[in-house]
Amino acid sequence: MGFHTYPLERAAALDDPGRYRYCSREELADAILEGPKGTVLDLGCGTGFFTNDIARFVDRIIAVDIQPEMLELLLKNSPPSNVHPVASSIDHLPIASGSVSVAFSTMTFHEYATPAAHAEVKRVLQPDGLLVAIDWTRDGSGESGPALDERYNVKMAVDQLQTAGYHIVETATRPETFVVIARVA
C-alpha cells in the first residue's frame, strides 16, 4: 500500500477519545498482557494516545514514530516516565535484537506492512514475542481512516505475517477494523 505520514495539521484528531470506538484501551491492554512481560514497542505511536494508555500496564514502552514532530506532541502530552520515544522507521529500528516482549500497532499496519518491516519487528521481538496489530480493514466502508485501497483486510495481513515467519494466534474482523495477534514462530 502507499506509505505516507499523518498530516501534522490533523494531529489533534489522534487524541480524540472517539478513537476508542475502533480499538478500546481495554481490548488493546488485554491482548498485550497475553504476551510475555518486559519491554513493549508501539509501532507508529503518533501523539501517544494508545502509548499512554498502555504505559500504566507495563514496565517499559518504546514509542516509535517516523515523524519527530509526532514525538514532540507525545512529549507535550506528559507521558508516564516509562515511555521512551524513538524517531525511526519501522524497517530500521534502533533496538537490540530479542529485547522486546510485545509489539503493537493501532491503525498503522497499512503504513509499515512490508517484508523489511515485518522482518525488523520479528528481529527485535524475543523468541516468544507477540505482535498485536489492529488496523482499518479494506472490507470497511471507508468513512473513517485511510482510503480503502490503502488498507489490508485480515486475510492479507495474516498472509504477510505468516510469510514473515509469525504464527497466528488470533484474528477478528469488525465493521471497520481487523485484529491480528501473532507470535514469533
Instruction: For residue 97, give the nearest of 61, 79, 122 by alpha carbon.
Output: 122
Show the domain range for 63. 24-184
pLDDT tens sequence across 61-92? 999 999 999 999 999 989 999 999 999 999 99
Residue 3 domain-assigned (yes or no): no
Instruction: Count the domains in the chain.
Output: 1
Residue 104 domain-assigned (yes or no): yes
Q: What percentage of residues in the chain have a pLDDT greater than 70?
A: 92
pLDDT exceeds cutoff 70 at 14: no
Pairing outcome for strands 60-65 and 125-136: unpaired
Residue 8 domain-assigned (yes or no): no
Residue 11 domain-assigned (yes or no): no
Domain at 138, CATH number: 3.40.50.150
Residue 61 domain-assigned (yes or no): yes
pLDDT for position 130: 97
Residue 15 domain-assigned (yes or no): no
Count of C-beta atoms within a 10 Å radius of residue 52: 21
Residue 7 domain-assigned (yes or no): no
Residue 14 domain-assigned (yes or no): no
- Answering whether pTM is above 0.85, one says yes
pLDDT for position 7: 58
